[in-house]
Amino acid sequence: MKQKEEELLLKSFDTELSEDEKKELAAVKSNSPAFLEEEAKYLHLRKMVCLTASESFSPDFTDNVLDRIDNLELQFLKQCYPVQFLFSVFRPFAVAAALLIAVLGYYSWYTIDIDKNEGVSESMQTIMDEADLAYVEELL
Amino acid sequence: MTDKQLVQAVKNSNKTAFKMIVERYKDQVAHTVYGMLGVTPEAEDIGQEVFIRFYTNLDKFRNDSSIGTYLTRIAINLSLNQIKKNSKKDQLFEQKLPDSLHDTYNRVDYEQIRQVKQAILKLEPRYRLVVVLRLVQGFSTRETAEILKVPQGTVMSWLSRAQKILRENLSDGDKL
């Protein structure tokens, strides 16, 4: 087969053949039995090669890719943004601790407030008692 | 969603969009990696690495080439690296085909397919590349040239040479 014909054969399954090449191909096909024979062999080879491409990745391939990306992102945070990394790792604990501190804070404030109120009222009572006593003493 | 929309969404940190890209292109990547390496223990790991490289280099990806072409280029580069490593270790794997093929094809066809696969893996990497890209993946000559960064004439001459070697190496060469 001539080099030009071989080139056409190799390109014959190309979706990007130009109009001129399509015409040339049609002309060669109608005039050259050798070309048709070669084309048949090429087709058979192509079919066999395509049949070899039957493997696919495991079913959990996509999940594994996503897991690896998550790990990479954590590593990146750890190296470049340690504070954010710590926050991302300890976020659940940080939230729990913040809530605990808030609850304890409120509780202690509330208790102190009650004590303070009680303290104020007690001291007021004392002042009043003392005032009454002073008044009584004055009267006497 | 189109590929462009998916890429944009991934750039906006949308993991679901990335998952869709992986689902959409994993078979194409598998055909390239397995075509280049055969059924080896590293093939799946390299397949994962292809998508990780794509994700981490997304800023460099411009929408002037398709995702498929871009992923194939990464898969080719990683596979070539692996071939170099394997050649140092002098590894040669006897190729097995998936069991599902037993059900689909009779014994003769199955054996013939196995032989073709073995013959492809004996090709020099550059010839194997054009066989995988042109015959398995169905990329055009122009696309193959773009992926391999060689002239179109080179793609055709490599394919022609690959075809001749395959015919010589196969026991039923007269049919091919």
Query: Whole-number mean pLDDT of chain B?
Result: 83
Burial (0-12, 13-18, 19+ Cβ within 10 Å), B119: buried
Nearest by CB: A65 against B22, B112, B135: B22
Beta carbons of A39 and A9 less than 8 angstroms apart: yes
* Sequence-distant (≥ 6) Cβ neighbours of residue A131 within 8 angstroms: none
Question: Which of the pair, B120 or A2, is modelled with greater confidence?
Answer: B120
Mean of pLDDT values over B137-148: 88
Count how many residues are written for chain A: 140
User: What confidence tens digit (pLDDT) does each residue in B25-70 have?
Assistant: 999 999 999 989 888 888 999 999 999 999 998 888 877 778 999 9
The predicted structure's pLDDT at residue B115: 83
Residue, of B171 and A98, whose pLDDT is higher:
A98
User: Which residues of B fall within a CB distance of 8 Å from A6?
Assistant: 160
Interface predicted TM-score (ipTM): 0.78
Count of other CB atoms within 10 angstroms of residue B167: 16
pLDDT, averaged per 10 consecutive residues of chain A (140 residues), comes to: 74 73 82 82 79 82 93 80 70 84 82 58 65 73
DSSP three-state, residue A18: coil
pTM of the model: 0.68
Residue B17 clears pLDDT 50, i.e. is over it: yes
Say how many Å lie between the first and final Cα of chain A, rounded.
142
Q: What is the pLDDT of residue B174?
A: 46
A45: exposed, middle or buried (C-beta count within 10 Å: 0-12, 13-18, 19+)? buried
In this predicted structure, what is the pLDDT of residue B99?
A: 58
**Which residues neighbour A19 within 8 Å (Cβ) at sequence distance 6 or greater?**
none
On the question of pLDDT at B147 being above 70, the answer is yes
Give the distance from CA B110 to its chain's centroid. Answer: 21
Interacting residues of B69 by C-beta distance below 8 A, sequence separation 6+: B139, B143, B146, B147
| B22 contacts on A by Cβ (under 8 Å) | 61-62, 65-66
A74 touches B: beta carbon within 8 Å? no
Nearest to B37 by CA among A58, A53, A61: A53
Intra-chain end-to-end CA distance of chain B, in Å = 42
Q: Residue B146: is its pLDDT beyond 80?
A: yes
Q: Which of B19, B98, B167 sits opposite A55 (nearest CB)?
A: B98
Q: Is the pLDDT of residue B130 over 80?
A: yes
pLDDT at A15: 62
User: In the numeric block, which tokens belong to residue B93?
Assistant: 């794997």
Distance CA A13, CA B138 (A): 9
Q: Is the pLDDT of residue B94 over 60?
A: no
> Strand, coil or helix: what is A128?
helix
- pLDDT value at position A47? 79
What residues of chain B lie within 8 A of the CB of A55, using their CB? 30-31, 34, 39, 43, 98
| pLDDT (mean) for B93-107 | 56
Helix A19-31 vs helix A33-52: crossing angle, to nearest 10: 110
Q: What is the pLDDT of residue A114?
A: 59
| Torsion sign (Cα): A97, A102, A105, A108 | negative
